[in-house]
Amino acid sequence: MTAELVRGQNHPLSQARLEIRVSAGKPVVAGATLSDEHGKVQGVEWVAHPGSPTLPGIEVSKQAAADHRLACDLDALPETVHRVSVLLALPTGVGGPVRFGAVAAPFVAVTGLDGSEVASYTVTGLDAESAVVALELYRRQGAWKVRAVGQGYAGGLAELLTDQGLPQARQLAGSINEAVVQGLARSVAAPPPRAADGDRSRHAATPALGQDQGGSTSPGAPGQVSPQHGHPGGQGPIASGAGPGAPQAAYPTASAPADPSAVTHPAGAGGPVNYSHPGRQAAAPPPPPPTAPPARPGQPAQPVAGDATGWSMEERLYNQVWGMFEDLARSTAAYRSAVDFAESRMEQELDKALSDPRARIGGQGDAAREAARAKHAELVDRAREALDRDLAQLTAEAEVVEPALPPAFARWDNPAWHGYRVPMEIPMAVRLGDLHLPESAGLSIPMLVRLPLERGLWIDSGRTGSFEGSIADSDDLRRLAMDTAVAHAARLLAVYPAGEYTVHVIDAAGSAASSLAPLVSTGVLAAPPAVGAAGVNEVLARLTQRVDLVQMAIRGGAADSLPSDLDPAEQLLIVNDFPHGFDDRAVTQLRYLADEGPAVGVHLMLVADREDAAAYGPLLDPLWRSLLRLTPVPDDHLADPWVGHTWTYDPSRVPPGSQVLQHVLTQVATARRSWNR
Amino acid sequence: MTVNMTKGQAISLQKNDGGTLTAVRMGLGWQAAPRRGLFGSRTREIDLDASAVLFADKQPVDVVFFRHLVSDDGSVRHTGDNLVGGVGQGGDDEAILVDLARIPVHIDQIVFTVNSFTGQTFQEVQDAFCRLVDETNGQELARYTLAGGGQYTAQIMAKVHRAGAGWQMTALGTPANGRTFQDLMPAILPHL
Model pLDDT for residues A499-509, shown as the tens digit of each residue: 899 999 999 98
Q: Which CATH number does B3-33+45-191 carry?
A: 2.60.60.30
> Is residue B72 less than 8 Å (CB to CB) from chain A?
yes
Mean pLDDT over each residue of chain A, to the nearest integer:
79
CB-CB contact of A444 with A478 (8 Å):
no
Q: Which residues pair with A18 in a beta bridge?
A: A72
- Residues 6+ positions from A202 with CB-CB distance below 8 Å: A223, A224, A264, A265, A425
> Is residue A379 less than 8 Å (CB to CB) from chain B?
yes
Kindly determine whether residue A337 and residue B70, on different chains, have CB atoms separated by under 8 Å.
no
Task: Pick from B79, B106, B136, B183 the residue to mutate for testing the A interface (most A CBs within 10 Å).
Answer: B106
* Interface subset of B 7-46, CB within 8 angstroms of A: none
Q: Which CATH number does A3-185 carry?
A: 2.60.60.30
CA distances from A411 to A402, A404, A418, A430 (A): 8, 11, 11, 11
Q: Has residue A647 got a pLDDT over 50?
A: yes
Residue of A662 and A287 predicted with greater confidence = A662
> Is residue B47 less than 8 Å (CB to CB) from chain A?
no
CB-CB contact of B96 with B50 (8 Å):
yes
Which positions in chain B touch A334 (Cβ < 8 Å)? 72-75, 102-105
| Full 3-state SS string of A360-400 | HCCCHHHHHHHHHHHHHHHHHHHHHHHHHHHHHHHHHHHHH
pLDDT cut 90: percent of chain B above it: 18
Q: Has residue B14 got a pLDDT over 50?
A: yes
- Residues 6+ positions from A558 with CB-CB distance below 8 Å: none
* Interface subset of B 80-119, CB within 8 angstroms of A: 102-106
Task: Please give the distance of CA A597 from its chain centroid, rounded to a whole number.
Answer: 17
Q: Residue A409 — very low, low, confident or very high, per pLDDT cuts 50/70/90?
A: very high
> Is residue A331 less than 8 Å (CB to CB) from chain B?
yes
| Region B35-53 average pLDDT | 73
Question: What pLDDT does residue B176 have?
Answer: 87
Question: What pLDDT does residue A362 have?
Answer: 65
Kindly determine whether residue A114 and residue B72, on different chains, have CB atoms separated by under 8 Å.
no
As a whole number of angstroms, the distance between CA A204 and CA A184 comes to: 34
Which positions in chain A touch B153 (Cβ < 8 Å)? none
Give whichever of A87-96, A189-198, A213-222, A541-550 has the largest mean pLDDT: A541-550
| Region B102-128 average pLDDT | 86
pLDDT cut 90: percent of chain A above it: 34
Q: Does residue A579 have a cis peptide bond before it, meaning omega lies within 30 degrees of 0?
A: yes
Residue of B36 and B64 predicted with greater confidence = B64
> Is residue B73 less than 8 Å (CB to CB) from chain A?
yes
Detail the DSSP E strand segments found in A628-669. Answer: 628-630, 635-639, 646-651
Question: What pLDDT does residue A213 have?
Answer: 35
Rg (C-alpha) for chain A, rounded Å, is 28
Q: Residue A216 — very low, low, confident or very high, per pLDDT cuts 50/70/90?
A: very low
Question: What pLDDT does residue A203 have?
Answer: 34
Kindly determine whether residue B178 and residue A114, on different chains, have CB atoms separated by under 8 Å.
yes
Question: What pLDDT does residue A369 have?
Answer: 86
Domain boundaries, chain A: 3-185, 456-674
The topology (CATH level 3) of A456-674 is Rossmann fold (3.40.50)
pLDDT digits (tens, 9 = 90+) for A126-157: 888 889 999 999 988 888 889 988 888 888 88
Question: What pLDDT does residue B64 have?
Answer: 93
ipTM of the prediction: 0.84
As a whole number of angstroms, the distance between CA A247 and CA A242 comes to: 9
Using DSSP's 3-state secondary structure scheme, residue A672 falls into: helix
pLDDT digits (tens, 9 = 90+) for A352-404: 888 877 666 667 778 888 899 999 999 999 999 999 999 999 999 999 999 99
Mean pLDDT over each residue of chain B, to the nearest integer:
80
- pTM score: 0.65
Which positions in chain A touch B70 (Cβ < 8 Å)? 330, 642
Strands B154-163 and B166-176: antiparallel
pLDDT digits (tens, 9 = 90+) for A38-88: 888 888 888 888 888 888 888 888 787 778 888 888 888 888 888 899 999
Question: What pLDDT does residue A400 have?
Answer: 93
Which positions in chain A touch B57 (Cβ < 8 Å)? 341, 345
Q: Which residues pair with B158 in a beta bridge?
A: B112, B171
Domain boundaries, chain B: 3-33+45-191
Using DSSP's 3-state secondary structure scheme, residue A198 falls into: helix
Question: What pLDDT does residue B35 have?
Answer: 61
| Region A593-605 average pLDDT | 92
Select from B72, B103, B105 the Cβ nearest to the Cβ of A643: B72
Q: What share of chain A is helix, strand, coil (3-state, %, to 5)?
A: 40, 20, 40
Kindly determine whether residue A341 and residue B56, on different chains, have CB atoms separated by under 8 Å.
yes
Using DSSP's 3-state secondary structure scheme, residue B98 falls into: strand
> Is residue A643 less than 8 Å (CB to CB) from chain B?
yes
> Is residue A114 less than 8 Å (CB to CB) from chain B?
yes
Select from B72, B104, B179 the Cβ nearest to the Cβ of A115: B179
